[in-house]
């Protein structure tokens, strides 16, 4: 994982987490993060209950940002190459959004919290400077596709190799992990955030949690084949935009009501 300079007015960094076997690739930076170098949720909310309530409403991710993130993920998932036989339509999950929100407000540039990260996939992105769209923090995850070579079935004997020809590909693979069909994200402005030893002022921190988690070592992110030809039975054969689409009886329209 290396920092990337995208323009003169901002710096953006990303980290991805999936299977616990990948944890050795994540820097254990918590020991280098003194308490006065980040803003925790408690510090930013105050002690008055009404102040806490107002602060919570302000910090929650906007519906526009939620829709943009969810739509972008599904566009990426529906257009993977080689085509996916079992790609599931991704839906927004309130519980994942809440866990993302709690972690974003801690302003820690590491994956966590440890008691949840064993069960969730997680993509992180942080940047300084001006930005016009939340997708400017999400698109670099997808951009890793240019360094990723999909492991065809003939290569998986019995485990699939991770063929990444850049510093990182696991942001992208988590985005297109077929069975990771739920996402919840939060964005927060951290006024003093320690990012690998440097204190960033007014850093925009994006946390996205995924369930079920992806990036399992030795597995491909999806099955190659005719779109929707290997959907789980629970979808009842429903297919949309090359993805296994949930039946209307599910709550996939929850955020649109």
73-104 tens-digit pLDDT: 999 999 999 999 999 999 999 999 999 999 99
Between CA 36 and CA 43, with CA 40 as vertex, the angle to 5 degrees is 85
Instruction: Render pLDDT for 130-145 as a digit per residue (tens, 0 to 9).
Output: 788 999 999 999 999 9
Q: Does residue 149 surpass a pLDDT of 80? A: yes
3-class secondary structure, 255 = helix
CA nearest neighbour of 107 among 43, 21, 17: 43
Position 248 scores a pLDDT of 65
Residues of the chain with pLDDT > 70, as a percent, come to: 73
Q: Does residue 106 surpass a pLDDT of 60? A: yes
Q: Does residue 187 surpass a pLDDT of 50? A: yes
Position 130 scores a pLDDT of 79
pTM of the model: 0.77
Residues composing the chain? 257
With a CB cutoff of 8 Å and minimum separation 6, the contacts of 89 are 74, 77, 181, 240, 241, 243, 244, 245, 246, 252
Q: Can you tell me the distance from the alpha carbon of 13 to that of 35, in angstroms, rounded to the nearest whole number? A: 22
Please give the sequence-ordered ranges of beta strands (E in DSSP) within the chain, or none if there are none.
4-7, 10-17, 91-92, 121-127, 148-149, 163-164, 182-195, 198-211, 239-240, 243-244
């Amino acid at each position: 994982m290396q920092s990337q300079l995208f323009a003169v007015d901002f710096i953006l960094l990303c980290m991805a987490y999936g299977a616990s076997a990948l944890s050795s690739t994540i820097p254990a930076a918590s020991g280098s993060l003194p308490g006065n170098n980040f803003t925790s949720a408690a510090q930013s909310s105050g002690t008055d209950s009404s102040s806490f309530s107002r602060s919570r409403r302000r910090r929650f991710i906007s519906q526009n940002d939620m829709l943009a993130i969810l739509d972008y993920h599904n566009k990426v998932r529906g257009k993977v190459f080689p085509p996916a036989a079992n790609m599931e339509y991704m839906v927004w999950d309130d519980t994942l959004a809440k866990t993302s929100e709690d972690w974003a407000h801690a302003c820690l540039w590491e994956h966590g919290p440890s008691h949840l990260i064993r069960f969730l996939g997680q993509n992180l992105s942080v940047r300084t400077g001006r930005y016009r769209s939340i997708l400017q923090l999400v698109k670099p995850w997808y951009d890793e596709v240019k360094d990723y070579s999909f492991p065809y079935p003939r290569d998986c004997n019995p485990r699939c190799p991770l063929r990444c020809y850049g510093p990182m590909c696991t942001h992208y693979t988590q985005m297109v992990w077929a069975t990771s069909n739920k996402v919840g994200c939060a964005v927060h402005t951290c006024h003093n955030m320690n990012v690998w030893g440097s204190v960033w002022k007014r850093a925009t921190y994006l946390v996205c949690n995924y369930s079920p988690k992806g990036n399992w070592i030795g597995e491909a992110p999806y099955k190659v084949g005719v779109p929707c030809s290997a959907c789980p039975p629970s979808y009842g054969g429903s297919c949309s935009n090359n993805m296994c689409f949930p039946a209307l009886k599910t709550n996939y329209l929850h955020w649109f009501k």
